[in-house]
Structure 1
Amino acid sequence: MTDDDRPGDDDLAEMLRRLLGGQGGIDPEELQRLSGGAIDPAMMQNVARYLQDAMSGSDDGIDWSSARTQALHIANQDGLGITAGTRQDFDQAFTLAALWLSEATSISDLATPPRAITRGEWVESTLPVWQELAEPVASSISDALMSALESQTPEEMRSAIEGAGRLMRRVGGALFAGQLGAVIGRLSLEVVSGGDVGIPLMPDGEATILPQNFADFGRDLEIDHDQLALALATRELAHARLFRHARWLRLHVISQITDFARGVHVDVDALEEMASRFDPSSPDELRAAIESGALLPQRSEAQVAALTRLENLLATIEGWVDVVTADALTRLPAADRVAETVRRRRAAGGPGERAMASLVGLELRPRRLREAAAMWRAVTDAVGAAERDSLWDYPDLMPTAEDIDDPAALVARLQARARGEEPERDAFDDALAALLDEEADSGSSSPDPAERADDPDDEAEGPAGPRPV
């Protein structure tokens, strides 16, 4: 092909306008002609299909369908279900666990019967929460990818790719959704119960166990199957009861996680460098960077503070679950061994949980679980289960990080309250009193009656009120 036969920039620009403007796709044969035969048509078919899929949505939001598809593919790969006998075994474990748990806590039983579920059912039930937690990070990555690729575009080509922003947002969102699905799928192979990750993934008031993962959990523990099932059922019921009782707690946990996630900012320099060699037909480098967390820079001070608050909150929740479960299982010989296994497992996290930490930059491990459990034990021994459980009635009653550090002070306050004594004033009380006093003073600064008598605007009123007209 001579120089005169080669296509001009106008031809390529027109093709990009059609694609990015939503006016049609790429014709691989046409692109091969425009490139002088230097592009493999099969490769371009992949590029065209990938780009057209990214453009097919009706809005600029992230399409999470690939996350569901990928997660279910991994979760259901063994094709195993739950036998009737297995369901019956866990139904019996849940029934006895509910009786024993009612002796250890004043928080009432669930309205919905607990059940054994498959890995696929766990994915379907928890995916909406995972999406809510991950969406701020997905949006940040999509926005950064859009900006990075636009910055790599020569000025003379800007008018030809006016729709590229929408395309690149969708490409980034699709890649992130696929990675999220893969991580959720791997998590479904590890979790043993609905509350195993420590956050409220299941709908309110639902307690579940995954028999497909139960055997792996107890494989090397040398603990009787029935004892292990009863211990895990009791712990799961305690977790579900707490979130059903404290209706505000679910939103409190999720809002703290999303607040952290909204503070995530992508490493733009790394992304721009990657965008300069990005190949839509083979996005493996970008996919690996998203999954590994390489695009997420070091946490800011605000994020470190938010993560510390979240860790204290999760520790406070799981510490209560630990103590209540232990009190309910005093008749079970293997209870202490199961509890220690659960604590170590939560402290280390499994492969799926570590992958989630890389993907969204967030570790969901309660680092102060033992200290929080010690606090709840001290409270239980001092004031009893009913007074302890009442601390979940309202958000402002829940123990704080300072209470974990100094359980004795919390116990002293609860004992004083039980005796009917007024609590000691703190800085908040002093500030509130000062504010009320200031408002009272401003309200009492109105003119005295003598001054009002000389006010011409008050002529229609006498000492006893309005004069008759």
Structure 2
Amino acid sequence: MSDTPHLQPSGPGDDEPDLSEILRALTGGDLSANPELADALKQMGVDNLDPAMLQMVQAQVQAMMSGPSDGSFNVALATDAARKTVSAAGDSTVGSSTARDVEQVVQVANLWLDEVTDLQAPAAGARAWSRAEWVEQTMPVWRTLVEPVAVGVGTAIREAMKQQLGQLGDADLSAELGLPPGVDASALVGQMEPMVARMSSAMFGMQVGQAVGALAGELVTGTEVGLPLVEGNPVVVLPANVAAFAEGLGIEAGEVHLYLAVREAARARLFDEVAWLAPALLAAVQSYAGDISIDTERIEEALREADTSDPAAMQSALQGSLFTPEPSEAQQRAVQRIETTLALVEGWVDVVTERATSPHLPHAAALSEAVRRRRAAGGPAERVFSSLVGLELRPRRLRDAANLWSALEEAAGAQERDRAWEHPDFAPSGEDLDDPLAYVARRTAIDADEPARDEMDDALDQLLAQGRAEMDADGAASADDDNEDGGSGAGERKPE
């Protein structure tokens, strides 16, 4: 019979043993009996069996081990990590007076937009959010975007660990895992797979949470990344981040708030009114992420160099470039769709915002240039997506898109500019960005083929209609006369 104590789960339905039971089993309740373990635990900050500290450590371990066993995205851990990130950087609840100020700013922004576009404001209204609130509200969409990558990374990690362990003999495997003699190492490896999957889910969740938390500290509005991250499409403003953006611009803070609110309100109208747009953007990102190729050699190298018993060390080793440098053909097509659609969205927002703010804000052009420089420098969204899904989320052809929308508006008016969003088949493509004037000519070709009508055309139509009606009436009368003449002798023979 083995002398190893039987470790009980920490509670009903829990898969992991109680941490205090593990420590007591290893030390017999006395750390002095095992100096090496005592020194290791002391370095970790666990130099005694204080119940409160054990409870905290156990809660952290259980949080990591409570993720899905298929290696997919641990959204709870990601949300917690993101909240801790924004808390460490400084975050405060938005007060009621600030919320009212944002509502008034958005109301003015919508009044200005009503003058330049027929797209209606969403019914969701305005929101003033703290960074933590933005994290909570957008995490469901982040989950759908990055989960395909999380599954791929988890599978790659499990396969890499299995391959490394499979190359060891039974004795080497037991030594690698630090197992006592007589323990079946191969059976233990099989039992470790769910734990490895949960660790992978936890590590990726931590990485997502840290990235989204950093993003929450920089975004000035809810959908500045160009993606529909907020359900219901409210006009979301992050007042603390707007104030930080306004510093150093030399422009009055109220004017900066108004300009950014107009941009966000325009984007919210577009996502809310154009039913196909948001699903198309999200589907393109998911398509790219779903076809991503994990660099298994890079992961194997990281696992060889990292301490597999230290989740923090493994997470640090696995951060960075996890993806193969060459995208597949499907990914290249997805990237083209994403970049084109993002450029069209942001280009339309630029044009509409310029039309709405120029008559009212003296520094509208300077603010537009500040936003443009912020985007060109590689904004926070680009860094986040590059680390999570290997995708640079940048509308590279923004100026081409803005020129296209301006040309269409000049040729056919603001209504025709906005009508181009009615169906994806009508919206401009990447080829149209190469030649905006050809797209404008094609969009206005039908109207150009039909000459403008005037009063003479209407009078002529009435005369023609009246003539057709008279001809129909005469034809009907002639038919009646023929029936009367031939009806009396029908079927009768004249007597010979």
TM-score range, shorter chain: 0.7 to 0.9
Q: Which residue of 1 aligns with 2:125?
A: 113
Query: CA–CA distance in 2 between the matches of 1:277 and 1:200?
Result: 40
Q: Secondary structure at the match of 1:152?
A: helix
Summarize the Cα distance change of 1:126–1:226 in structure 2 as closer, same or farther, 3 Å threshold.
same
Q: What does the per-residue CA deviation read over 1:402-461, in whole Å, with 9 as the maximum and x for residues that have no partner?
A: 11110111111122122456xxxxxxxxxxxxxxxxxxxxxxxxxxxxxxxxxxxxxxxx
The answer to whether 1:101 aligns with 2:113 is yes
Q: Which residue of 2 aligns with 1:461?
A: none
Summarize the Cα distance change of 1:195–1:53 in structure 2 as closer, same or farther, 3 Å threshold.
closer
Q: What does the per-residue CA deviation read over 1:286-328, in whole Å, with 9 as the maximum and x for residues that have no partner?
A: 3224432x22220324223321221111001110111011111
Aligned counterpart in structure 1 of residue 398 of structure 2, from 369, 374, 391: 369
Q: What does the per-residue CA deviation read over 1:160-199, in whole Å, with 9 as the maximum and x for residues that have no partner?
A: 3222222111111101101111111111110000121111
Please identify, of 145-154 and 401-410, the stretch whose mean Cα deviation from structure 2 is larger. Answer: 145-154
Q: What does the per-residue CA deviation read over 1:99-136, in whole Å, with 9 as the maximum and x for residues that have no partner?
A: 11111111112212212221111111111111111111
Aligned counterpart in structure 2 of residue 179 of structure 1, from 199, 207, 210: 207
Aligned counterpart in structure 2 of residue 385 of structure 1, from 395, 398, 414: 414
Query: CA–CA distance in 2 between the matches of 1:170 and 1:351?
Result: 28
Q: Which residue of 2 aligns with 1:168?
A: 196
Stretches of structure 1 that go unaligned for 5 or more consecutive residues are 1-7, 422-469
Query: CA–CA distance in 2 between the matches of 1:11 and 1:91?
Result: 68
Please identify, of 278-287 and 44-53, the stretch whose mean Cα deviation from structure 2 is larger. Answer: 44-53
User: Contact (CA 8 Å) 1:50, 1:281: kept in 2 or not?
Assistant: no
Pairing 1:429-440 to 2, within 5 Å after superposition: none
User: Contact (CA 8 Å) 2:78, 2:210: kept in 1 or not?
Assistant: yes
Q: CA deviation at 1:397?
A: 1.0
Q: Look up the equivalent residue of 2:79 and give its one-letter code.
A: R
Q: Which residue of 1 aligns with 2:223?
A: 195
Q: Which residue of 1 aligns with 2:322?
A: 295
Q: Secondary structure at the match of 1:389?
A: helix
Query: CA–CA distance in 2 between the matches of 1:210 and 1:23?
Result: 40
User: Contact (CA 8 Å) 1:62, 1:170: kept in 2 or not?
Assistant: no
Q: Look up the equivalent residue of 1:42 and give its one-letter code.
A: L
Q: Which residue of 2 aligns with 1:464?
A: none
User: Contact (CA 8 Å) 1:32, 1:38: kept in 2 or not?
Assistant: no
Q: Secondary structure at the match of 1:208?
A: strand
Q: CA deviation at 1:351?
A: 4.9
Q: Which residue of 1 aligns with 2:80?
A: 69
User: Contact (CA 8 Å) 1:123, 1:185: kept in 2 or not?
Assistant: yes
Q: What TM-score do you get using the length of structure 2 for normalisation? A: 0.75
Query: CA–CA distance in 1 between the matches of 2:391 and 2:341?
Result: 14
User: Contact (CA 8 Å) 2:432, 2:439: kept in 1 or not?
Assistant: yes
Query: CA–CA distance in 2 between the matches of 1:110 and 1:53?
Result: 38
User: Contact (CA 8 Å) 2:347, 2:399: kept in 1 or not?
Assistant: yes
Query: CA–CA distance in 2 between the matches of 1:263 and 1:377?
Result: 36
Query: CA–CA distance in 2 between the matches of 1:131 and 1:23?
Result: 25
Pairing 1:198-237 to 2, within 5 Å after superposition: 198-237=226-265
The answer to whether 1:405 aligns with 2:396 is no
Summarize the Cα distance change of 1:23–1:217 in structure 2 as closer, same or farther, 3 Å threshold.
closer
Q: What TM-score do you get using the length of structure 1 for normalisation? A: 0.79
User: Contact (CA 8 Å) 2:67, 2:202: kept in 1 or not?
Assistant: no
Q: Which residue of 1 aligns with 2:41?
A: 42
Pairing 1:9-24 to 2, within 5 Å after superposition: 22=15, 24=17
Summarize the Cα distance change of 1:272–1:85 in structure 2 as closer, same or farther, 3 Å threshold.
same
Query: CA–CA distance in 2 between the matches of 1:241 and 1:316?
Result: 14
Summarize the Cα distance change of 1:23–1:316 in structure 2 as closer, same or farther, 3 Å threshold.
closer
User: Contact (CA 8 Å) 2:149, 2:290: kept in 1 or not?
Assistant: yes
Please identify, of 161-170 and 270-279, the stretch whose mean Cα deviation from structure 2 is larger. Answer: 270-279
Query: CA–CA distance in 2 between the matches of 1:341 and 1:23?
Result: 52
Pairing 1:440-455 to 2, within 5 Å after superposition: none
Summarize the Cα distance change of 1:50–1:214 in structure 2 as closer, same or farther, 3 Å threshold.
closer
Query: CA–CA distance in 2 between the matches of 1:415 and 1:150?
Result: 62
Query: CA–CA distance in 2 between the matches of 1:67 and 1:195?
Result: 20
Query: CA–CA distance in 1 between the matches of 2:213 and 2:17?
Result: 35
Summarize the Cα distance change of 1:317–1:179 in structure 2 as closer, same or farther, 3 Å threshold.
same
Query: CA–CA distance in 1 between the matches of 2:186 and 2:109?
Result: 65
User: Contact (CA 8 Å) 1:183, 1:352: kept in 2 or not?
Assistant: no
Q: Which residue of 2 aligns with 1:432?
A: none
Please identify, of 47-56 and 396-405, the stretch whose mean Cα deviation from structure 2 is larger. Answer: 47-56
User: Contact (CA 8 Å) 1:205, 1:240: kept in 2 or not?
Assistant: yes
The answer to whether 1:27 aligns with 2:22 is yes
Q: Which residue of 1 aligns with 2:446?
A: 417
Summarize the Cα distance change of 1:353–1:404 in structure 2 as closer, same or farther, 3 Å threshold.
closer
User: Contact (CA 8 Å) 1:186, 1:352: kept in 2 or not?
Assistant: no
Query: CA–CA distance in 1 between the matches of 2:354 and 2:201?
Result: 44
Q: Look up the equivalent residue of 1:389 and give its one-letter code.
A: D
Q: CA deviation at 1:15?
A: 8.5
**Over aligned residue pairs, what C-alpha RMSD do you find?**
3.0
User: Contact (CA 8 Å) 1:187, 1:353: kept in 2 or not?
Assistant: no
Please identify, of 60-69 and 242-251, the stretch whose mean Cα deviation from structure 2 is larger. Answer: 60-69
Query: CA–CA distance in 2 between the matches of 1:63 and 1:158?
Result: 28
Summarize the Cα distance change of 1:30–1:279 in structure 2 as closer, same or farther, 3 Å threshold.
farther
User: Contact (CA 8 Å) 1:204, 1:243: kept in 2 or not?
Assistant: no
Query: CA–CA distance in 1 between the matches of 2:447 and 2:258?
Result: 35
Q: Secondary structure at the match of 2:319?
A: helix
Query: CA–CA distance in 2 between the matches of 1:283 and 1:220?
Result: 41
User: Contact (CA 8 Å) 1:190, 1:352: kept in 2 or not?
Assistant: no
Stretches of structure 2 that go unaligned for 5 or more consecutive residues are 47-53, 171-184, 451-496
Q: Secondary structure at the match of 1:27?
A: helix
User: Contact (CA 8 Å) 1:184, 1:352: kept in 2 or not?
Assistant: no
Summarize the Cα distance change of 1:100–1:48 in structure 2 as closer, same or farther, 3 Å threshold.
closer
